[in-house]
Amino acid sequence: MLNKLTNKLADKWFLVREGSKLEKAHQVIGAYVLVFMVWGMYRLLFRMPLWVEEVILKGLVMGGVVGYMVWKKERNGWKSLGINTKNFVPAVGFGLAVGVLLLFFGELVNYIQYGELAVNPEALTSGGIGQLLILGLVTAFWEELLMMGYVLTRLKEVWENEWTRVIVVALMFTLLHLPVMVVDGLPVVQIMVRSLLVFGVGFGNGVMMLRTENLATPILTHALWGVSVFLFE
């Protein structure tokens, strides 16, 4: 009799736990799909000045969805997104170190491809580098807030295995950047190469986010990676 009761309780607990996981998965994937559809449709149909897109529109779309899910649905705060002082100094140092490596790698790839250290002339205009860094940080903040701050941390309730979460988030991060590659009319081979690079950045940022538990690391890495892409494209 006791064994039957224990088994029933265990079954009920299993169903509740699995139901909770499924509900969380629906919330996270639903939020991501909403951002992907809105942002993807915008990319396919419209084009506005870069500053407007990266600062205002991404803030409204990505920041708006994350804000609603965290504050309205979960009743959580900034700390749940990795915006805190925990491990802040090593997180900043780690993010800067990896970001500088990406800058160097970008220059190396550019040199191998063109045989010279060609730099985008727009980046050399007055205030170009400073503006580029600010824009890179803002862009990185919105994208990492969504992917590493919200999606990665919430998927912990769905998959306990860290590598599963990191790979899934890296794939989602790559997919988020696919519409702009299509709109820019890149050849299929170049889209594949860029997608692999974006996946690598997403994977690395996911690992670093899990280790530092601070959003500063992926933001800085992402920002410097974005700068390298603009400088050496």
User: What would the pLDDT profile of 52-106 be if each residue is shown by its tens digit?
Assistant: 999 999 999 999 999 999 999 898 889 999 999 988 999 999 999 988 887 777 6
How far apart are alpha carbons 45 and 24 in whole angstroms? Answer: 32
Q: Which band of pLDDT confidence, cut at 50, 70 and 90, is reported for residue 13?
A: very low
Q: Which band of pLDDT confidence, cut at 50, 70 and 90, is reported for residue 34?
A: very high
pLDDT at position 206 over 70: yes
Query: Can you spell out the DSSP letters for 166-184?
Result: HHHHHHHHHHHTHHHHHHT
Backbone angles phi, psi at 197, to 5 degrees: -65, -45
pLDDT at position 154 over 90: yes
Tell me what the mean pLDDT of segment 116-141 comes to.
73
Q: Taking the domains of the chain in order of start, what are their residue ranges?
A: 2-231
Which amino acid is located at 146 in the chain? L
How far apart are alpha carbons 116 and 213 in whole angstroms? Answer: 39
Q: Running DSSP on this structure, what letter comes out for residue 115? A: S
Residue 83: count other Cβ atoms within 10 Å of its Cβ: 16
